[in-house]
Structure 1
Amino acid sequence: MPRLNSPMTYSSALGDGPCLAGTFRAEFPSQILHWSDSMFQIHGYQRGEVVPTLELLYSHKHPDDRQRCQDIVAKVLQTGGYFCMYHRITDAKGQIRHVLTSGDAIQDEDGNVTALEGVLLDLSSTLRRETDQIARDAVAAATATRSVIDQARGILMGRLLVGSEEAFQLLVTHSSRRNVKLAAVAAEILRLADLPEGPAELDAAIHEMQARERTAKAKHRGRRHHHLESPALK
């Protein structure tokens, strides 16, 4: 049989970077395996270092994934059809790789499976790159949110001539009473501050925030006074 070629691949996370993938063919009932060069590479070998066998293949499956992979292959050998498995392998160097194996069963005229052919795609670099990007985006979002809140706090400090903690507490209270995220409340303060009409709407919003806070404090004092005056406590 001619040597298998590795497939053309593309990963949006890697751009022009390599996305390692190999092709394979397993013949039955002889259980002879044919691997492309990339199949050897994904498993941590160079061609000629090992002879691919089912035993070798399954020995590299992650222990938590091995049985499920074996069950799927056994089922396809019985019924034919396609298969696709996202799982982990441990290569010859001990490195865990996240891979996607996809293929189909080749059947003879009697419906017997004579071979499994498919592709194994190493998703490790893609997942690592996307995870890193998600982490960077989360840090950037947190930094941007903190900046918005700090700017809104500064505006309240300037308009009300109060300290940093008091201004921040006013934002927190307003956020809690309206059941709106703190960043959204801060963003609204910044939006009002940038209006060309001047500070009138901003001052109105700030006064509303103060009124809500005073009302909340009054209700809290009323409940506390009622609790202290309760006959059960006398």
Structure 2
Amino acid sequence: MVDSPRTYSSALGGAGFLAGTFLFDPLSGKAEWSDGLFNLHGYQRGEVVPTLELLMSHKHPDDRPRTIEILDEVFRDGGHFCIYHRIIDAHGHTRRVLTAGRGLLGASGMVVTLEGATIDLTSTLRRETEQAARDAVAGANATRGVIHQARGILMGRLLVTSDAAFKLLISGSSRTNVKVAVLASQLVRLADSDQGPESVDEFIRVLQACDQA
């Protein structure tokens, strides 16, 4: 069995990204892993003998049954497969990976080679999750800021308390089915525009009408 070629791959997340290839001969039971696949599972080449059984032993217990089910179908009928799952490496670290490959049928109609690649998506998913959290916090802060500005405008124009100003925005949102933050943003934009105080007063009258209704 020839050595697997080098794997060229890329993913978001910077350092810590790993990928590797595998080749398995179901007739002889021999397997070949690239250096990247050894590393992904927490090994260096030469530390362990690569086998399909070793590969499966590293699957997360919750993901192993479905992975076995898919591979059984591939061994029976051949074809391509793609599995998103988790592995637990030799150091106990859980990695979220995507494994894709194919079972090649021989002249006899049986699968003679199972080949594929596993890509570590752990750092990519972590980066995306952290960015989503940062975006959510930034969005929440921006929303609070514009609502605070709108309340200030209402307090200054109507000489009401902060709670009363917020109640007007709530009433307007409920009656118009427009989010409070959107109404607040519209009011702030009017106040900052060149349309004059009359446009702001008209907007406020609409809010008051919603509140009275």
Q: Which residue number corresponds to residue 206 of structure 2?
A: 208
Q: Which residue number corresponds to residue 57 of structure 2?
A: 59
Q: Is the 8 A contact 2:155 2:162 kept in 1?
A: yes
Residues of 1 paired with 2:65 and 2:131: CA distance?
33
Residues of 2 paired with 1:27 and 1:212: CA distance?
73
Counterpart among 23, 26, 31 of residue 33 in structure 1: 31
Q: Give the secondary-structure state (helix, strand or coil) at the position aligned to 2:59.
A: coil
Q: Give the secondary-structure state (helix, strand or coil) at the position aligned to 1:154.
A: helix
Task: Report sequence identity in percent.
Answer: 54
- Please give the per-residue CA displacement for 1:93-112, whole angstroms capped at 9, x wherever unaligned: 11111111111112222222
Q: Which residue number corresponds to residue 5 of structure 1?
A: 5
Q: Which residue number corresponds to residue 111 of structure 2?
A: 113
Asked whether 1:125 is paired with 2:123, we answer yes
Q: Which residue number corresponds to residue 172 of structure 2?
A: 174
Q: Is the 8 A contact 2:99 2:119 kept in 1?
A: yes
Asked whether 1:19 is paired with 2:17, we answer yes
CA distance 1:5–1:213, shift in 2 (3 Å): same
Q: Is the 8 A contact 2:7 2:36 kept in 1?
A: no
Structure 2, unaligned runs of 5 or more: none
Q: Which residue number corresponds to residue 159 of structure 1?
A: 157
Q: Is the 8 A contact 1:171 1:185 kept in 2?
A: yes
Higher relative contact order (CA 8 A, sep 6+): 2
CA distance 1:31–1:84, shift in 2 (3 Å): same
Kindly provide the amino acid, as one letter, of the partner of residue 154 in structure 1.
G
Counterpart among 70, 74, 77 of residue 76 in structure 1: 74
Q: Give the secondary-structure state (helix, strand or coil) at the position aligned to 1:63.
A: coil
Q: Is the 8 A contact 2:151 2:166 kept in 1?
A: yes
Residues of 2 paired with 1:6 and 1:169: CA distance?
64
CA distance 1:51–1:170, shift in 2 (3 Å): same
Residues of 2 paired with 1:137 and 1:152: CA distance?
22
Asked whether 1:48 is paired with 2:49, we answer no
Q: Is the 8 A contact 2:23 2:32 kept in 1?
A: yes
Please provide the CA RMSD for this pair.
1.4
Residues of 1 paired with 2:206 and 2:55: CA distance?
68
CA deviation after TM superposition for structure 1 residue 133, in Å: 0.6
Kindly provide the amino acid, as one letter, of the partner of residue 10 in structure 1.
S
CA deviation after TM superposition for structure 1 residue 127, in Å: 0.5
